[in-house]
Amino acid sequence: MKKISIIILATIGLISCNKNNDKADGYGNFEATEITISSEANGKIEFLKVEEGDELKSQLQVGLVDTLQLHFAKQQLIASKSTVSSKSANIISQKSVLNEQLKTAKLEKNRIRNMYAENAATKRQVDEIEGKVKVIEEQIKSVGTQNAPILNDLKSIDVQIAKINDQIAKSKIINPINGTVLTKYAEPGEISAFGKPLYKIADVSEMTLRIYVSETQLSKIKVGQNVSVKIDAEKDMKSYPGTISWIASSAEFTPKIIQTKEERVNLVYAVKVKVKNDGSLKIGMPAEMWIKDGD
C-alpha cells in the first residue's frame, strides 16, 4: 500500500509540474542589421565625432578626411581652364569678325550680280567677289576646326574638376542611417585609406528575434501574426509585443548554438519576429516567443 501511495503521489506531482512548466513556442537571440562605415578617401582624419553608444541621425556629417591636396589640384585645374578658355575666346572673336566680313561680302556679291545683269559690271568683278566670299567661308571653317580641340580640352578639364569634387564629397564622412554606434575603429589624426572601417552602427529601435521552429509548429504561425516575446528580468520574465515578419521557405538543420546533439540534427524553419525596443533589448540577447491564445 505504501508503494502504491508513493507512486500515486509522484504521478500527481509530475502532472502538476507539467501543468506549471509551460514551454515557449520558440527560442532565439535578438539581432539587428549592422552597417560598417568605411572610409572612401585616403588621408588624415581631421575629425570623427562618433563614440560608442551615440545615437546618430541619417545624413549627418560626423567626420572629414583631409582635402587640402584635392583643393590645390582643383585650383590648378580651374587656372588651366581659364587659360584654355581665353584661347577659345580669341578664336570665337576671330570667327565673329569673319562672319561680319562674310555678311558684307555677300551684300557686295548681290550688288555686283545685279549690276552685271544690267551690264554695269564686268564678269571679272563677279568672279572676284564670289572668290572673296568663298575665301571667307573657308577661313570660318578653319577657325571652327581650330576651336574644336580647345573645346574638347575644356570638357576634359570639366570632367577632372567633377572627379575632384566627387573625391572631396567622399572625404566627408556621412552617417547613412538613424542608429546607435556599436563600435568605433578609428580616431582623429590617424591616416585613413579607402575601405578602412571607421565605425559600426545599427538601428536598434526595432529588433529582430530570430528563432527556429519545427515543422509541426508551422501550422500555428504566419507572417503578420502577433506574438509575445519574453526576456529574462530580475524577478520574472518581461514581455514585449512582437510581429512575425518572415518565415523561411525551406528547412535547415538546427544551428550549432543549440547544444545537444539530438536537437542539432532536427530539421527546423527559421522565423523572424519584429519587436519594438524600449532600450532594454540588446544584440545577441536570448529571448522566447510565445504564440498568443486565439491567434
Q: Are residues 94 and 183 in the same domain?
A: no
> What confidence score (pLDDT) does residue 129 get?
85
CATH of the domain at 54: 2.40.50.100
Residue 248 within any structural domain of the chain: yes
Q: Cβ distance 64 to 172 under 8 Å? A: yes
**Distance from C-alpha of 210 to C-alpha of 193, rounded to nearest angstrom:** 36
CATH of the domain at 248: 2.40.30.170
> What confidence score (pLDDT) does residue 257 get?
55
pLDDT at 155 over 50: yes
Distance of CA 158 to the CA centre of its chain: 26
CA-closest candidate to residue 151, choices 84, 100, 93, 205: 84
Question: Could you read off the pLDDT of 245-268 as tens digits, one per residue?
Answer: 999 988 887 665 554 545 555 788
Q: How confident is the model at residue 128 (pLDDT cuts 50, 70, 90)?
A: confident
Query: Which three cell numbers, joined as nine digits, stand for 249?
Result: 521557405
What does 63-98 look like in DSSP terms, one character per residue? EEE--HHHHHHHHHHHHHHHHHHHHHHHHHHHHHHH
120 — phi, psi (to 5°)? -105, 0
Residue 102 within any structural domain of the chain: yes
Question: Could you read off the pLDDT of 173-182 as tens digits, one per residue?
Answer: 999 999 999 9
Q: Which residue among 202, 223, 254 closes a domain?
A: 202
pLDDT at 274 over 80: yes
Residue 8 within any structural domain of the chain: no
Listed range (18-32, 180-194, 216-230) with the worst mean pLDDT: 18-32
Number of domains the chain contains:
3
Residue 11 within any structural domain of the chain: no
Taken in order 190, 193, 174, 32, the sign of the CA dihedral is negative
> What confidence score (pLDDT) does residue 95 get?
77
Q: Are residues 178 and 113 in the same domain?
A: no
